[in-house]
Amino acid sequence: MSRLDNPDVLRRIASRRPIAADERCDLCGEQVADRHSHVVDIRTRSLMCTCRACHVLFTHDDVQLKYRSVPRRFLAFPDADISLGQWQGLAIPVDIAFLFYDSSLSRVVSLSPGQDGATESELPCDAWEDLVAANPGLATVRDDVEAVLLHKQGGAVSCFLVPVDFCYELTDHLRQLWRGPDGGDEARLRLEQFFCDVIARARVTDARRCVAAGSDTGMAAARDRVRLRR
């Protein structure tokens, strides 16, 4: 199933134009800069543009709210233990995927970018459990607002933790740039730029250790729902 939530908002994320009079917070109407924060409507998985004041209102993960603020945390896991067998077990149809816990569905989902936007697939539960058991650091990803980014290149799989709006931005860019069966040169260049940006922003972290996320409501706390530990 192909899905790209709230494409109008995603186009606004992707744009790099100067601030405009109609660029406003979706919650209070305050004017916002071109580079601004977002919150996720956890019921619909849609993104909303926010000013700083509104963004701060929804940063408390331990409170059950309709919206949740997207943080700006980037982590790199260069030592992640992800074999090709584990990759195949995740049943990801292409070489890139964003994995995150959807609290409205009470499960981990996978989104893969491509010519039709984001292709969503449900992960085999045991495969995800095996991956997190080998890499406990992945369990700290915040529900709904952060994603585990996996990228297979040849016989290796790169692993990062990124904000979910960053994933949607790439997805929308690739959808617009995609040409032909393999995406074309522009899409490949955008993908290279994306990973250069991720690497530049990311703090290198040990995937074998549980990294504090600043709250206890990420996938680590959700293990009873997702069975992160057998």
Show the domain range for 61: 7-69
Tokens of 2: 């192909």
Residue 172, domain member (yes or no): yes
Residue 212, domain member (yes or no): yes
d(C-alpha 133, C-alpha 147), whole Å:
17
- CB distance 4 to 164 below 8 Å: no
Tokens of 155: 């016989």
Q: Do 31 and 113 fall within a single domain?
A: no
Q: Do 86 and 197 fall within a single domain?
A: yes
- Count of domains for the chain: 2
Among 69, 102, 120, the domain-final residue is: 69
Whether the per-residue pLDDT at 174 is higher than 50: the answer is: yes
Q: Do 33 and 81 fall within a single domain?
A: no
pLDDT in tens, 82-110: 988 888 888 888 889 999 999 888 889 99
Phi-psi region of 203 (alpha: psi -120 to 50; beta: other; left: phi over 0): beta
- CB distance 164 to 102 below 8 Å: no
Residue 1, domain member (yes or no): no
pLDDT in tens, 21-79: 578 999 999 999 888 899 999 988 899 999 999 999 999 877 678 899 999 999 999 99
d(C-alpha 33, C-alpha 17), whole Å:
10
Sign of CA dihedral 76, 134, 152, 104: negative
Q: Do 142 and 166 fall within a single domain?
A: yes
Residue type (1 letter), 147: A
Q: Do 97 and 201 fall within a single domain?
A: yes
* Residues β-bridged to residue 102: 107
Element (H, E) at 12: helix 7-14
